[in-house]
């Protein structure tokens, strides 16, 4: 579904990603792991077209999003769900209006149709009937759920998560992991999950890719990944980063 080809990214003279090659398969959940500052979020932003690489190509099916005009990218992004590290909900809007935001901006659906979609998406994330609540009334985990409901409002083909459980306690982290798995099963989407939590990666992913100082040093199925002998991978598996 996505093919990252010889991608490099520099900010000024600082090379943050160095010749990354990675394929994301239709319908899989790929976890991208690595220590803080290794380049995970940068790679995710490139896949969404929020930044453009200084070298290489990023194929989304047959389109190179690394070299695509902004207008075309906007259109494409409607079919990509994004759940960021910080929930980024509009605090002055109800939960329902938050989920409906993109639909109102980008479609001419009737209010009745929008309400129906919002109802359904809130149900998918386990928050039925919360349309009229305000974000301030929600726990951190609930806000993440609302972000996910908003991300799936358009029926995306692919969902990107950047550290979806950062700032949440271990119980909430488990719940978000379960939600990622159930969303994946229910919608049959492709998922890319950036995390520095090895346990989460093992739990939710089909394959794991590890970035170390801007280089992709390992990518394999979860079972194989756990047997990799590279000392950097082993250190990560032991929770040393």
Which residues contribute to the site for ligand ADP (CB under 6 A)?
11, 16, 34, 36-42
Q: How far is the CB of 233 from ligand ADP (least distance, A)?
A: 16
Number of amino acids touching Mg ion (CB under 5 A): 1
How many Å apart are CA 68 and CA 4, to the nearest integer?
15
Select from Mg ion, ligand ADP, none the partner in contact with residue 36, using the beta carbon and a kind-dependent cut-off of 5 to 8 Å: ligand ADP
Q: How far is the CB of 107 from Mg ion (least distance, A)?
A: 31
Select from Mg ion, ligand ADP, none the partner in contact with residue 42, using the beta carbon and a kind-dependent cut-off of 5 to 8 Å: ligand ADP
Select from ligand ADP, Mg ion, none the partner in contact with residue 34, using the beta carbon and a kind-dependent cut-off of 5 to 8 Å: ligand ADP
C-alpha 191: how far from chain center: 7
Name which of 41 and 130 has its Cβ closer to Mg ion. Answer: 41
Whole-Å CA distances, 142 to 19, 54, 87, 130: 38, 37, 10, 10
DSSP 147-212: HHHHHTTT--SEEEEESTTTT--HHHHHHHHHHHHHHHHHH--EEEEE-S-HHHHHHH-SEEEEEE
Query: Quick check: 133 and 94 in contact, CB under 8 A?
Result: yes
Q: Which of residues 16-75 bind Mg ion (CB under 5 A)?
A: 41
Name which of 10 and 94 has its Cβ closer to ligand ADP. Answer: 10
Interface ranges with Mg ion (CB under 5 A)? 41
């Amino acid at each position: 579904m996505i093919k990252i080809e010889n991608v490099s990214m520099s900010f000024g003279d600082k090379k943050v990603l160095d010749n990354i090659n990675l394929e994301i398969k239709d319908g899989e959940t790929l976890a991208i792991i690595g220590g803080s500052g290794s380049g995970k979020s940068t790679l995710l932003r490139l896949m969404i077209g929020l930044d453009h690489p200084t070298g290489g190509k990023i194929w989304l099916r047959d389109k190179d999003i690394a070299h695509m005009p902004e207008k075309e990218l906007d259109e494409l992004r409607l079919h990509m769900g994004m759940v960021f590290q910080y929930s980024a909900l509009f605090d002055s809007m109800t939960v329902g209006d938050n989920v409906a935001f993109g639909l109102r901006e980008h479609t001419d659906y009737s209010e009745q149709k929008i309400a129906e979609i919002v109802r359904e998406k809130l149900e998918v994330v386990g928050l039925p009937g919360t349309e009229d609540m305000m974000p301030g009334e929600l726990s951190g985990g609930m806000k993440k759920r609302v972000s996910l409901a908003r991300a799936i409002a358009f029926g995306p083909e692919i969902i990107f998560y950047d550290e979806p459980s950062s700032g949440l306690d271990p119980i909430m982290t488990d719940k978000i992991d379960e939600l990622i798995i159930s969303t994946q099963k229910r919608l049959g989407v492709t998922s890319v999950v950036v995390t520095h939590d090895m346990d989460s990666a093992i739990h939710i992913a089909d394959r794991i890719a590890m970035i170390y100082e801007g280089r992709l040093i390992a990518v394999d199925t979860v079972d194989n990944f756990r047997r990799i002998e590279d000392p950097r991978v082993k250190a990560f598996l032991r929770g040393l980063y």
